Copies of this chain bind each other. A is one copy, B any other.
Amino acid sequence: MSRAQTRGSRQGRAGIRDVAAAAGVSITTVSDALNGKGRLPDATRRHVREVADRLGYRPSAAARTLRTGKSGLIGLTVTTYGDEPFTFTEFAYFAEMARAATSAALARGYALVILPATSRHDVWSNVALDGTVVIDPSDHDPVVTELVRQGLPVVSDGRPAGTLPVTAWVDNDHEAAVLDLLDHLAAAGARRIGLLTGTTTDTYTRLSTTAYLNWCERVGQDPVYEAYPAHDPCAGAVAADRLLARPDRPDAVYGLFDPNGTDLLAAARRYGLRVPDDLLLVCCSESTVYATTEPPITTLSLKPRRIGTAVVQLLIDAIEGIENDGPVEQVIPTELIVRTSSQRRSPRTTVSPPRTPTQD
């Protein structure tokens, strides 16, 4: 009563009918004029547009969606770790990916709806989606399964885990990336390379770990790795410490997850290991902080921007029925950003004794 609540959108909005009346034409003409559809003289088109502008006419998205069957909305489904909806924070990857996806969708006239995989049934079934992007799909994901069953196009970031019949997927070649990276460390002088990995069974973790194990077998090195639940940030520091506390301590470590760089750096300091002199370090991260750490840490970038863009393009192509004669599987190359932490310097600066544990 006190506030202007009742006069909101109920009565005030002008419909296509009002525009037609004001312009002295029929509804069809208005629709055609605004959508560039029919065969109208430019004069009529301009006139209708002008009248529509004057009345502040905005077509009802709901009505258009109901009529056309297309909403212009794309779901962004993120798998859930723990009880929190998703892990934008944990890894800059998601943020970059979502950013690029948003931008790409926008450029083609679509908007993104954030839909955690654990959303209540009534919520995500209540929004009209034209298709869905799903990040890190797991085959027992009920939401994605249902969407696929409904016949909605689904494109995933990361190859589908099980028998999930997605429309298309985009991924890196994680195995090649790891092999490449391990070769890089070996070339820098690493004799025993350790791995900081996760306990989860997602594809990224699995592929990367097996690639590491294969590499070890190939070069005849005993695997040295510690696994921890990746969604728990505290566990990462503990695992890093454990890895460097082992009797068969590695002289180079690759960390699969974003925070591993600082975790490993902190652990190295605790054990008095200098990076890169005593310990070579690489981690998989999109974070820019590793450019300014002491020392700067070499990172493996999965190129989330390119993945996000590619995923959205494939999805919209599928939505709009554009025949993509190319493969529905797209592999994005990774990039190893080499910084100080993985380049062994000449040993002339080795003054203080190595491997002396300090308490500071």
Contacts and interface: CB of A to CB of B under 8 A. Distances in A.
Interface of A: 4-5, 7-10, 12-13, 58-66, 69, 71-73, 76, 84-86, 88-89, 92, 94-96, 98-99, 102-103, 106, 109-116, 119-120, 122-128, 150-152, 233, 237, 259, 262-263, 265-266, 269, 286-289, 292-294, 321, 349, 360
Contact of A86 (B4, B62, B102): B102
A123 B72 contact: yes
Contact of A99 (B71, B72, B84, B111): B84
A118 to B, nearest CB: 9
Nearest to A167: B3
Copies in the complex: 2
A15 to B, nearest CB: 12
B292 A60 contact: no
Nearest to A124: B111
A114 B349 CA distance: 51
B88 A99 contact: yes
Contacts of A114: 76, 98, 102, 111-114
Nearest to A103: B85
Which of A12, A95, A96 counts the most B-chain CB atoms under 10 A from its CB?
A95
Contacts of A89: 92, 95-96, 99, 286, 288
B106 A119 contact: yes
B60 A66 contact: yes
Given A9-B69, A102-B85, A294-B269, A150 B58 contact: yes
Contacts of A287: 289
A88 to B, nearest CB: 4
Nearest to A268: B294
Contacts of A266: 292-294
B64 A71 contact: no
Given A13-B150, A98-B114, 18 more contacts: A4-B151, A9-B69, A58-B150, A61-B65, A61-B125, A61-B126, A62-B65, A85-B106, A89-B96, A106-B120, A111-B119, A112-B113, A113-B113, A113-B114, A237-B292, A259-B289, A263-B292, A265-B292
Contact of A265 (B5, B112, B123, B294): B294
